[in-house]
Structure 1
Amino acid sequence: MPLNNKLPKVSIVIVVRNAADKIEQAIKSVLVQDYSNFEIIILDGASTDGTIEIIQKYRADIAFFSTEKDNGIYDAMNKAIDKCSGDWIYFLGADDELYDPGVLSAIFKEQQNKEEVIFGNAYYLNRKTIRFGNMGRYSLSKHNFNHQTIFYPLSVFKKYRYETKYRIWADYFLNIQLYFKSSYTFKYLNVIVSRFNDMGTSGIHTIDLAFEEDRAKIIEEIFPWDVYIFFHLRKAFLWLQKLFRKKSK
């Protein structure tokens, strides 16, 4: 535990709609944590499948709960941020779980620098493998951090919010901005943070049309020159690889 015995408060946000078969396990994975200073914030998007009734069973352990229609998952996350009182914010998918009871203690056993964004690993349930490890600038040009492995200092959201026009990759856009265009640095901890449902919306190869439309502009305006060049060289290599495979058939 921190030497000054003052544990940082962690706000754990769950946004959900119609996840009656999963939400209870997500909540339980938080409640069994051996770390004492956290709060649970749940925003429900007007579920109709019994999700609300399950959440109500744990109402005494939830700092804030509301159920109302929203304009997508990132709109709900933005609303949830305003209800958080923690030093750090973590977003847990309604169909995901914290990996084990020691996750928060493992992350916050030492005081963390609030100018850093902390990330760890996720166990992918379908693939039965641990991903992604210690990502760097070139990895970020290929794919996003796993959202269920990241702890953001509250100060991030004093300046930034999720861009809601990106229905699937708003967190990717946020992370690109933070990594390349802000004063924050990203710190990797070799901790398995979550059990991630890689068959969910963000786990399968679903296309975010708005993000894809803006991708070239995002790359040009945000990526540093070396990452920009790496991205395009890799893109050309993959195109040639695909071409040669077609010809060899």
Structure 2
Amino acid sequence: MNHNTPKISIVTVVYNGAQTIEATINSIINQTYKNIEYIIVDGDSNDGTQDIIKSYESEISKWISEPDKGIYDAMNKGIDLSTGDYIWFMNSGDEIADLTVLEEIISANPGSDIYYGDTVMIDSDGTEIGNRRLAPPEHLTWKSFKKGMLVSHQSFIAKINIIESYNLSYRFSADFEWCLLAIKRAKHITNTHRTLSKFLDGGITKQNIIPGLKERFRIMSKYYGLIPTCYNHIFIGIKFFYFYTKNKRF
């Protein structure tokens, strides 16, 4: 691996995303950093998504379209197709924060196992709503997630050799465990101190907030213990209520 210009595999998972996929594609193919392998995994869309993908085919390294067993199955297909040194998931509707993100973070801290940063929420028109409810910690360790998923999956770039497949026994929160395990394996983690992604509000996680939180509780109990997880949820709940009261969103 060339530490100065490692290959970054960026994977976009989409199903019937004709209204959102183009903004995602443009945020990736127009990056000033050029050693990008761009992969799109489409779940056999029937709303015109495939036509949009085809219109950008010359800018896309690989793309497939076939039925899947859910978002994490599709993301596992993306992992299998990736040949880069790093992997970054930027799913339909989400965008890289600006066009110089990759060039700047890689050149500033070459060779890190993980790069992480903040996330801005956007609505369906691409208008910024505000920062994500949970802010990234100054120093990220696997124990940081005791307080919740402090780093958004869209603002988490990991070396391919420290990640594994998503656990398909979780339907809504497999990304929590996936990031946690990558952090446990990482030796050098870089806080980029910048916003890395724009996250489309109202996605699958928010649409399934209760089952997603139940899965996340199970994962936290598995890695941190039941009693500490129950204790930490007191403070998680207080912060959640305060944020919702102040911002009328979560």
Preserved contact between residue 107 and residue 191 of structure 1 (Cα < 8 Å): no
**Aligned-partner Cα distance in 2 for 1:122–1:240:** 21
The answer to whether the aligner puts 1:182 opposite 2:185 as a matched pair is yes
Q: 1:170 to 1:239 in 2, by over 3 A?
A: closer
Contact map agreement 1:118 1:186 (CA 8 A) in 2: yes
Shift in alpha-carbon separation, 1:58–1:175, aligned structure 2, 3 A: same
From the superposition, tell whether residues 123 and 203 of structure 1 become closer, same or farther in structure 2 (CA, over 3 Å). farther
Deviations along 1:39-97, one digit per CA (max 9) or x if unpaired, are 11001000010000000001111111110000111111111111111111000020111
Q: What is the distance in 2 between the residues matched to 1:38 and 1:237? A: 40
Superposed CA deviations along residues 112-150 of structure 1, whole A, max 9, x for unmatched, are 335x22111111114722234432456512321211101
Between the aligned residues of both structures, percent identity stands at 32
User: Counterpart of 1:48 in structure 2: which amino acid?
Assistant: N
In structure 2, relative to structure 1, the CA distance for the partners of 1:221 and 1:8 (3 Å cut) is: same
Larger-Rg structure? 1
Match of 1:164 in 2: 168
| Structure-2 change in CA distance of 1:60 and 1:182 (3 Å) | same
Q: List runs of 5+ in structure 1 lacking aligned partners.
A: 242-249
1:61 corresponds to 2:59:
yes
1:117 counterpart = 2:118: no
Which residue does the alignment assign to 1:244?
none
Partner SS for 1:207: helix
Match of 1:75 in 2: 73
Given that 1:40 and 1:63 are in contact with CA atoms closer than 8 Å, whether structure 2 keeps it comes out as yes
Paired residue for 1:134, among 133, 136, 141? Answer: 136
2-structure distance, mates of 1:239, 1:133: 15
Count of aligned pairs between the two proteins: 229
Question: In the aligned structure 2, how far is the partner of 1:176 from the partner of 1:74?
Answer: 16
Map 1:144-159 onto structure 2 (within 5 A).
Answer: 144=149, 145-157=151-163
Q: CA deviation at 1:239?
A: 7.9
170-179 or 23-32, which deviates more: 170-179
Alpha carbons of 1:33 and 1:202: their partners in 2 closer, same or farther (altered >3 Å)? same
Q: 1:207 matched to which residue of 2? A: 210
**Distance in 2 between the 1:205 and 1:190 partners?**
30
- Secondary structure of 1:39 counterpart: strand
Once structures 1 and 2 are overlaid, which stretch shifts more, 9-18 or 170-179?
170-179
Please list, as runs of the form range in 1=range in 2, the aligned pairs for 1:8-19 lying within 5 A after superposition: 8-19=6-17
Q: What is the alpha-carbon distance in structure 2 between the residues aligned to residue 187 and residue 170 of structure 1?
A: 23
